[in-house]
Chains A and B, each alone.
Chain A
Amino acid sequence: MSEAPTENSAAPPAGDEINVTVKSSADQKYTVSVSPSLLVSDFKQLLEPQCNIPKDRQRLIYSGRVLKDHETLATYKIQSGHTIHLVKSAAPPTSSAPSASAVAQPSNPTVPQNIAAGQGVGNPLAGLTGARYAGLAQLPSASLFGPDGGMGPPPSEEQLIQAMSSPMFQQSMNQMLQNPQMLDYIINSSPNLQGMGPQVRQMMQSEQFRQMMTNPDVMRQMMNLNRMFGGNPFGAPGQGNQAFPEPGRTSTTETSNSGDGDTQTANGTATGANTGPPANPFASLFPGGLHNAPAAGNPFGALFNNPMPGAPAQGTDGNNTAAGGNAAPNPLFSPEMLSLMMGGGAPAPEDNRPPEERYEAQLRQLNELGFFDFERNVRALRRSGGNVQGAVEALLDGAV
């Protein structure tokens, strides 16, 4: 410890003063001589000129405790020669670091946070959908996200499953289902659920349902089942093999395909009421399958549209991304289906979408990795079949 004599003893010269060392970040150290009976708030005042941190932004830690303003130093039994840590707190307008609790407060903004998904005013899910919620709030600028506000293409099934098994997702799902307002919204936004009466609420709040929602095995099983029936995982037909409508897509971009959707949802409604349906436990819960319902009609669609924080990272292992990016228009002959039958690695059917759309997620990842040459990125992605890792290798090798 620096035994430097106190040069700046502004404290009252009362009896037994103690010398405490205040350590702040950047290895700055101050030695202050004070009376133990000094209030913490006064102590901070004393530090202000030395450390150049306003009093109300100083946080003092001693022996594993945060010092409270209204206590005296003696309360914490601080003795001579001991060290107090000084931490500067964030600037008062702490707009950064959105907390999970914001989700539970649907009253905040009156401006829809996510126009792309068709979410309206007062939609409690709106906060869930933005890039903010995906934990990307601290990224340098909004321009990093695509024109759709960072939504990206719907995640592939594997990504979905992985995202759903993340504790964050489970937590938000739990929070959502515990919030009565949220349940009201979900139920009201779907005629199917409305028709099912009070049992729906009970079911959604049941532990079993929550487990089901967050159990990757159940999800996988369900997706497999659905694929066999030619539907897609969440009972929203007409979207190719993509689980959810694309953010920018409106009802006019769809070609009508509501036939099997109706039977599917009807089937789901019948079985959904008794909580443990064997066939498709989710059809009734994702009733987006009604005649080209817009994104907002599917209460969970918006949630899943959002690339979960885990998803982009997982995408880098290639296969998932490839499957997600090369979405084929024919649900019966999806790449996933093919790869399932052929033991993986099947070539995807011809995809004639423009590269910036087709490789949107991958291109964004490459940008994040510092590859900004669009043309080269696209060439590299083409070579690697949409595999980001492969593309990076090609870019680094100078092969493209």
Chain B
Amino acid sequence: MSAKIPRNFRLLEELEKGEKGLGAEACSYGLTDGDDITMSEWNGTILGPPHSVHENRIYSLKLHCGPNYPDVPPAVQFLSKINLPCVSQVDGKVDPSKLACLAQWRRDYNMETVLLEIRREMATGSNRKLPQPPEGTTY
């Protein structure tokens, strides 16, 4: 149990999960470039949670898993414009200090954790009513 799963094994596992759709339905992720042997650049989508302004919207994100992933969290950046407290309005970057799962990153978290946490953030009481930029606009 004490053996740490190396970065690439972890990422391959996540890749398979993403491609085969084994994870949660509300989000999806995969390598930006399937030939990227470092498996650093990832795409992600979040399906807007129901009963919120995000309902029926699909948000695209970019995730960067650095060489030290999963010891350090991935860098997350929205490609679709979104109005959310933890997301920079300038470039769509998610502020790690404002998202609990990034601020208190644990090694057993993965990209799906992050995407689902962001999605949950969208659905919280105050955030689910925030006015949003038109769908389809990007940073």
Q: Return the contact of B83 from the options A64, A82, A171 (Cβ within 8 A).
A: A171
Q: Residue-by-residue, is A333-370 near B (CB-CB < 8 Å gives 1, otherwise 0)?
A: 00000000000000000000000000000000000000
Q: Residue-by-residue, is B2-22 near A (CB-CB < 8 Å gives 1, otherwise 0)?
A: 000000000000000011111
Most chain A CB within a 10 A radius of its CB, from B29, B31, B56, B125: B56
In the complex, the answer to whether A168 meets B83 with C-beta atoms within 8 Å is: yes
Q: How far is the CA of A103 from the CA of B131 in the complex (A)?
A: 10
In the complex, the answer to whether A82 meets B126 with C-beta atoms within 8 Å is: no
* Residues of A close to B133: CB separation below 8 A: 99-101
Q: How far is the CA of A99 from the CA of B19 in the complex (A)?
A: 33
* Residues of B close to A25: CB separation below 8 A: 25
* Residues of B close to A210: CB separation below 8 A: none
Q: Residue-by-residue, is B34-68 near A (CB-CB < 8 Å gives 1, otherwise 0)?
A: 10000000111101000101011010110000000
* Residues of B close to A23: CB separation below 8 A: 21, 25
In the complex, the answer to whether B134 meets A99 with C-beta atoms within 8 Å is: yes
Q: Which residue of B lies closest to A87 (CB)?
A: B47
Instruction: State whether the Cβ of B129 lies closer than 8 Å to any Cβ in chain A.
Output: yes
Q: Return the contact of B28 from the options A62, A77, A135, A136 (Cβ within 8 A).
A: A62
In the complex, the answer to whether B131 meets A135 with C-beta atoms within 8 Å is: yes
Q: Which residue of B lies closest to A136 (CB)?
A: B129
Q: Return the contact of A89 from the options B20, B56, B134 (Cβ within 8 A).
A: B56
Q: Residue-by-residue, is A221-253 near B (CB-CB < 8 Å gives 1, otherwise 0)?
A: 000000000000000000000000000000000
* Residues of A close to B53: CB separation below 8 A: 97, 135, 138
Interface size class of B (residues with CB under 8 A): 35 or more
Instruction: State whether the Cβ of B130 lies closer than 8 Å to any Cβ in chain A.
Output: yes
In the complex, the answer to whether B58 meets A63 with C-beta atoms within 8 Å is: no
Q: Which residue of A lies closest to B51 (CB)?
A: A138
* Residues of A close to B131: CB separation below 8 A: 98-100, 103, 133, 135, 168, 171-172
In the complex, the answer to whether B28 meets A61 with C-beta atoms within 8 Å is: yes
Instruction: State whether the Cβ of A5 lies closer than 8 Å to any Cβ in chain B.
Output: no
In the complex, the answer to whether A167 meets B83 with C-beta atoms within 8 Å is: yes
* Residues of A close to B47: CB separation below 8 A: 61, 85, 87
Q: Quick one: given A23-B25, A66-B45, are A167 and B60 in contact (CB under 8 Å)?
A: no
In the complex, the answer to whether B20 meets A168 with C-beta atoms within 8 Å is: no
Q: Which of B122-139 contact A (CB under 8 A)?
A: 125-126, 129-135
In the complex, the answer to whether A83 meets B126 with C-beta atoms within 8 Å is: no
Instruction: State whether the Cβ of B89 lies closer than 8 Å to any Cβ in chain A.
Output: yes
Instruction: State whether the Cβ of A90 lies closer than 8 Å to any Cβ in chain B.
Output: yes
In the complex, the answer to whether A100 meets B83 with C-beta atoms within 8 Å is: yes
Instruction: State whether the Cβ of B74 lies closer than 8 Å to any Cβ in chain A.
Output: no
Q: Quick one: given A64-B28, A65-B43, are A97 and B19 in contact (CB under 8 Å)?
A: no
Instruction: State whether the Cβ of A166 lies closer than 8 Å to any Cβ in chain B.
Output: yes
Instruction: State whether the Cβ of A8 lies closer than 8 Å to any Cβ in chain B.
Output: no
Q: Return the contact of A82 from the options B19, B42, B134 (Cβ within 8 A).
A: B19
Q: Quick one: given A61-B58, A63-B18, are A135 and B129 in contact (CB under 8 Å)?
A: yes
In the complex, the answer to whether A81 meets B129 with C-beta atoms within 8 Å is: no
Q: Return the contact of B21 from the options A77, A83, A133, A138 (Cβ within 8 A).
A: A83
Instruction: State whether the Cβ of A309 lies closer than 8 Å to any Cβ in chain B.
Output: yes
Query: What would 26 A/B residue contacts be, using CB atoms closer than 8 Å?
Result: A25-B25, A63-B28, A63-B43, A64-B29, A64-B30, A66-B45, A66-B58, A66-B60, A82-B20, A83-B20, A85-B21, A87-B56, A87-B58, A89-B56, A97-B55, A98-B131, A101-B133, A101-B134, A135-B130, A136-B129, A138-B51, A166-B126, A168-B131, A171-B83, A171-B89, A171-B131
Q: Give 10 A-B pairs besides A87-B47, A171-B83, A313-B126 with Cβ atoms closer than 8 angstroms.
A: A25-B25, A59-B58, A61-B58, A63-B29, A99-B132, A99-B133, A135-B129, A166-B126, A168-B131, A171-B131
Closest 9 CB pairs of A and B: A63-B30, A83-B21, A135-B129, A64-B43, A100-B131, A64-B29, A90-B56, A64-B44, A64-B30
